[in-house]
Amino acid sequence: MTVIIPNTTITYRGKNISLGEEMQLEAGQENSKNNPLFKLMVKFLIAPVSLKQNLNAEKYSKIYLNADKMELVAKENSGIRFNKKTYQKFIDSAWNLLSEISIKDFLEEILSKQYHGIIPKDGKSKEDIAIKTFKEIKDDLTQPSITLNQYVQRNEFVSEVAFTSGNVNTSLLWESASNNKPYSVALQKIINNVDDYSKIDVIKTNNAVNSITIDLEIGKLMEEMFKEAGLEKYY
């Protein structure tokens, strides 16, 4: 049975979710890179260092990659053709393919335009920097046939590109930068360590306080947090 999830806004327990594209799971795709759920897994992995088009993949993958949750989505929304057994088969096949794909093939996959689109080669955008990093890793591979699963377990790739799985703060940092949102982790760090990131100048005249100036050393804070997230090369 072909599973079809239309390119419309659908809901999960009343919450709007959408990947922004139609998803069709057809027999014969399970064990290939054309498996839509394999593509979704790849988009989820590279979302922190890719275009905004992959942000929905990062937000909603926990729903789309869970057959039980998608069964609820199918019941809640019209226009969805769904079979839980088929969907789970596609999830399992996508995971097996992702685990066993060689690091070389994986890098070639994520360097393709279907995951990044057209990126301005200005040398400054996080997308352009990420692409250059992927290319450098690919060119420097000493064991191109090693599987992605084995490579990530050695922690080299995670530390190089700062994937979501590498550091819990990394994803938040990229999301804040991409969506112009407050970075709550930084705010909390200032609150907890105010003496480390502030300078206070008190001006007195005749023992009376005329003014108090508080300077927050945001540059120092962000430099430290980029290093903690494994992103110092982007600071």
What is the helix (H) or strand (E) element at residue 15, kind and residue range?
Answer: strand 15-17
C-alpha distances out from residue 73 to 1, 4, 14, 122, 130, Å? 18, 12, 10, 41, 34
Number of C-beta neighbours around residue 63 at 10 A: 18
Cα gap 149→90, rounded to integer Å: 19
74 pLDDT higher than 90? yes
pLDDT at position 162, please?
43
Query: pLDDT per residue over 172-206, tens digit each?
Result: 555 565 555 666 667 677 777 777 777 777 676 66
The residue among 121 and 19 whose pLDDT is bigger is 19
Long-range contacts of 73-78 (CB under 8 A, 24+ apart): 73/5, 73/10, 73/11, 73/12, 73/17, 76/10, 76/11, 76/12, 76/13, 77/10, 77/11
The residue among 98 and 51 whose pLDDT is bigger is 98
Cα gap 136→88, rounded to integer Å: 36
Query: pLDDT per residue over 156-178, tens digit each?
Result: 444 444 444 344 455 555 556 55
φ, ψ (nearest 5 deg) of residue 200: -115, 125
pLDDT at position 147, please?
84
Helix, strand, coil percentages in the chain from 3-state DSSP, rounded to 5: 55, 15, 30
pLDDT at position 66, please?
92
Q: How many residues does the chain have?
A: 235
> What dihedral do alpha carbons 6, 7, 9, 15 form, nearest 10°?
70
User: What mean pLDDT value characterizes the chain?
Assistant: 76
137 pLDDT higher than 90? no
235 pLDDT higher than 90? no
pLDDT at position 84, please?
94
SS3 37: helix
Query: pLDDT per residue over 206-219, tens digit each?
Result: 666 666 677 777 77
pLDDT at position 20, please?
80
pTM, 2 dp:
0.62
The residue among 68 and 227 whose pLDDT is bigger is 68
pLDDT at position 177, please?
58
φ, ψ (nearest 5 deg) of residue 24: -120, 125
Is there a contact between 30 and 93 (Cβ–Cβ < 8 Å)? yes
* Amino acid at position 103, single letter: I
Handedness of CA 37, 147, 150, 131 (dihedral sign): negative
87 pLDDT higher than 90? yes
pLDDT at position 180, please?
57
